[in-house]
A = this chain, B = another copy of it.
Amino acid sequence: MAKEKKMVEQITSMEEDFAQWYTDVVIKADLIDYTSVKGCMVIKPAGYAIWERIQQELDRRFKETGVENVYLPMFIPESLLQKEKDHVEGFAPEVAWVTYGGLNPLQERLCVRPTSETLFCDFYKNEVESYRDLPKVYNQWCSVVRWEKETRPFLRSREFLWQEGHTVHATAEEAEERTIQMLNVYADFCEQVLAIPVIKGQKSEKEKFAGAEATYTIEALMHDGKALQSGTSHNFGDGFAKAFGIQYTSKDNKLEYVHQTSWGMTTRLIGAIIMVHGDDSGLVLPPRIAPTQVMIVPVMQKKEGVLEKAAELKEKLSEYRVKIDDSDKNPGWKFAEQEMRGIPLRVEIGPRDIEANKALVVRRDTGEKIEVSLDEIDTKVGELLETIQKDMYDKALKHREENTHVAHNWDEFTDIINNKQGFIKAMWCGETECEEAIKEETTATTRCMPFVQENIGDVCVHCGKPAHKMMYFGKAY
């Protein structure tokens, strides 16, 4: 038991130092390693397997809505990046520049894509001629680079993995419809697969994407009361189309500009899973995203028949993602290790269990231990995985509800900021100047104007002017 204790002790407790707890978990759960390349990380097998599950689940949902995958270059010529004014202002300060190809300086420098709107526009310009070519609903899975000054694993790194969808449509209505459709795909994925409840809403003018007409977002609340933007979907209107000259001939033979959208989710989601569900024993993975759902741990595995029975059990549970830990570590160490890695269910089986035709099933989320007959263990494990998935969502929702406050005036707002944590719902006048003042005074930012508005007042929480929008505010990652 000494070793087990040692492993757990290597993690700082959440209450003591949440940031350090987070760093400890990503390392101790074997998700990443640091590298010689500042601000870039290695995503190790346990981390990458989570990303593969995210990819599978999202990609299937995308394809059900008609999305097709493509791959565009990782380089953007400087002149192309500069074509849309707001976009270049937003991204140019934080891109990496390639200036040499082999031994020769390049005539025009190339940036490593921070996002691919400009490349997709350059592509669609040649691809779209008539209304018959519309819509195009393309997506790519790739890595992107943003030269951030401060980095944290998964949450903010100089290179990260993501998907970026880029679509072109004949009408403004169709583009808006696709923008909202993909936001809903993201929200459903977060809630149903990651067990993370999200607020759907619209970003303020100040917080929207560089070059977009409207940015929609899903915002989630982390365990420490900070907000995390977990997915965004942008409606570009015809702004990029005009900058790049993407036109089509309509049914009545007129030349029209297309309307565009883009939407993305990133490896940041792994950070969200950690910070919403994790505890002082490490990672806790929702069953639907867990690369391994059940870990069988043989007890006294050198005794005759134990490993054979464990293998039999694995076969019986083969409809789930199941593994056996038959390494030569002691059971206590294995228990702690599987807990650290967040595996939803542990099944212990030893000589006495075998004799009694049962096994001990242990829930990662609650620690609950359940004796289960080997005859019905496959059904029982399925039920437990469903229960854990639901309970984890309910727990996260309860935490968010307990940490969401209404502020009717500035005193209430500052009181919440200073003495509580979490989301603040408040009325806001809609002026960027006022939004900046709130940030300046409290470090809280507008997270979104939720689709579901509530009647909580009619004057701005900060400046007192008439206000028609209820916003979510919060401190954010």
A residues adjacent to B (C-beta < 8 A): 33, 35-37, 40-45, 48-49, 51-52, 68-77, 80, 93-103, 109-110, 112, 119, 122-123, 126-127, 138, 142-143, 145, 147, 158-159, 161
Contact = CB atoms under 8 A, between A and B. Distances in A.
Contacts of A42: 70-73, 123
Copies per complex?
A: 2
Contacts of A95: 102
**Most interface-central of A71, A123, A126 (chain B CB within 10 A):** A71
B41 A73 contact: yes
B126 A33 contact: yes
A119 B42 CA distance: 9
A35 B102 CA distance: 20
Contacts of A68: 45, 48-49
A73 B36 CA distance: 10
Contact of A97 (B73, B99, B126): B99
Contacts of A36: 77, 80, 122
B74 A35 contact: no
Smallest CB-CB A-B distances: 7 pairs:
A40-B73, A45-B68, A97-B100, A101-B147, A43-B71, A102-B147, A37-B73
A356 to B, nearest CB: 34
Given A33-B123, A36-B80, A100-B97, A159 B69 contact: no
A138 B145 CA distance: 23
Contacts of A71: 42-43, 48, 51, 143, 161
A80 B70 CA distance: 32
A102 B110 contact: no
**Most interface-central of A33, A43, A102 (chain B CB within 10 A):** A102
**Most interface-central of A73, A100, A159 (chain B CB within 10 A):** A73
A97 B103 CA distance: 9
A91 to B, nearest CB: 10
Contacts of A94: 102
A96 B103 contact: no
Contacts of A40: 73-75
Given A36-B80, A102-B147, 14 more contacts: A35-B119, A40-B74, A41-B73, A42-B73, A48-B69, A51-B71, A52-B69, A74-B159, A96-B98, A96-B100, A97-B99, A98-B98, A98-B112, A99-B99
A457 B110 CA distance: 54
A81 to B, nearest CB: 11
Contacts of A127: 33
B74 A145 contact: yes
Contacts of A77: 36-37
A3 to B, nearest CB: 14
B76 A110 contact: no
A52 to B, nearest CB: 7
Nearest to A102: B147
Given A35-B122, A122-B35, A123-B33, A70 B98 contact: no
Contacts of A159: 73-75
Nearest to A69: B48
A65 B70 CA distance: 29
A80 to B, nearest CB: 6
A400 B45 CA distance: 41
A119 B34 CA distance: 12
Given A36-B80, A36-B122, A43-B71, A143 B142 contact: yes
Given A96-B98, A100-B96, A48 B70 contact: yes
B97 A37 contact: no
Nearest to A79: B36
Contacts of A102: 93-96, 147
A35 B123 contact: yes
8 contacts: A40-B73, A41-B73, A42-B123, A45-B68, A48-B69, A71-B143, A93-B103, A95-B102
Contacts of A110: 37, 96
